[in-house]
Structure 1
């Protein structure tokens, strides 16, 4: 083993990486809170004893990761860190993963089915009157989009997103939204919806009725049938 290959070799880190670490620490410690304006470049240069290029590169890295938003002509601001932000940062990688192998898309379908059954179970247990009214309204909205495949699919996503939101768990809601978006990326053959829209609407309506009746097992069984019928709709482009 050469000296260059030694695992004990001390490497000098880029200044911008060190500035990035310091800025991330300011955010995670709460010194910089969501909505706060970031210190000016000049202030950061003075605080860390580095030049403008290192500060700008570190700020751009924070922006790329979603931790701050850089707006031209305005001070950069710290973003709120939540599940939606975390999943949005992995969105591009997730799409590449799905497109790299048909098996990955099949795995996502399976994960979505298991997730949806859990979500409808929670909805049947804890949906409020307002939640049920919202679900019925979403079914009506979807019915209004008959003949418009893209709008019909978007309304379908809204219905399933609402089911996840009823859980009251923001992580579950964010995961549901991400999985639905990744799946509907692969609806190249929207003709598969042709002639089946009324079936989808009837299934959604039955699911809402079972949730309203607090029939947990019935709602889960109906959702399982709905997903089993619809799973072949999603086809890779």
Structure 2
């Protein structure tokens, strides 16, 4: 199968273009259990024929899957699928695919718990190191939310700005980086947005006000509790009822 490259074209890595689609297919196959932990993948030549791509594309795809912790490539012994415990769950493609195939919303439940813990810790840190500039930034974000109650898109954007401000003001770069990955992948999923209950924006505003009040007071534990309550509570409110556990 031709990759569309002419003899005089600037070389591109095989994972580009066609390779990206093949990689996505393999990630989906592993996430959905079409191929399970311990399963051996067919030889390179067979995969190339089945997917209609070159052996180079297959080889590069296996390398990418191995980087994501999804397979182990053993020279002379083939390639086998790894259990989920070894996957890089913060990898954008892996996490996005998990969320996309999460019929029970269990991954989003876990994501919300982890995100809540991270942002709660950052809210506590922000309360401990608050200053006038930081407080002014948070108040401005909260006012933007207040002013856009009748504009859902603007309200949600201001909401995100408030959370980003808390994260950046915390000074915890690692927690911020992890929380941002989780948040960004979640926002890409319609399931995460769910269904807003009645008075959703009013409830969200009140929860943000409590977070800010705790930060203004320098009360680290109150800030931690308020942020965790907000993130978990807002997820439970909008969680799709048709997919409830149990």
Q: Is the contact made by 1:149 and 1:190 (CA closer than 8 Å) also made in structure 2?
A: no
1:136 aligns with 2:151: no
TM superposition shift of 1:132: 0.9
Matched, 1:171 2:174: yes
In 1, distance between residues paired with 2:8 and 2:175?
41
Q: 1: CA distance between counterparts of 2:175 and 2:239?
A: 25
Partner residue, 1:68: none
Conserved in 1, the CA contact under 8 Å of 2:108 and 2:192? Answer: no
Q: Distance in 1 between matches of 2:195 and 2:151?
A: 10
Indicate whether 1:146 and 2:149 are aligned.
yes
Question: Quick one: distance in 2 between partners of 1:96 and 1:234?
Answer: 21
* Match of residue 100 from structure 2: 99
Instruction: Please say if residues 161 and 176 of structure 1, whose CA atoms lie closer than 8 Å, have aligned partners that are also in contact.
Output: no
| Structure 1 gaps, min length 5 | 1-50, 66-86
Normalising to structure 1: TM-score of the pair?
0.58
Structure 1 residue 145: Cα displacement: 1.4
Matched residue of 2:181: which SS? Answer: helix
Q: Name the residue aligned to 1:191.
A: 196
Q: Which stretches of structure 1, 4 residues or more, deviate above 3 A after TM superposition?
A: 58-61, 187-191, 233-237
Give the superposition deviation at 1:175: 2.3
1:140-189 deviation digits (Å, cap 9, x = unpaired) = 00111112223222221211111111122443323222222233333454
For structure 2, the 5+ residue unaligned runs are 1-6, 21-87
**1:112 aligned partner:** 115
Where do 1:1-237 residues align within 5 Å?
A: 56-58=11-13, 90-101=91-102, 102-184=105-187, 185=189, 186-192=191-197, 194-235=198-239
C-alpha distance in 2 between matches for 1:228 and 1:60: 38
Matched length: 161
Q: Decide whether aligned partners of structure 1 residues 147 and 229 sit closer, same or farther in structure 2, where only a CA change above 3 A counts.
A: same
SS of the counterpart of 2:150? coil
How well do the aligned residues superpose, as a CA RMSD in angstroms?
Answer: 3.0
Note closer, same or farther for the CA distance 1:98–1:134 as it changes in structure 2 (3 Å cut).
same
TM-score of the two chains, using structure 2 as the length reference: 0.56
Q: 1:118 to 1:188 in 2, by over 3 A?
A: closer
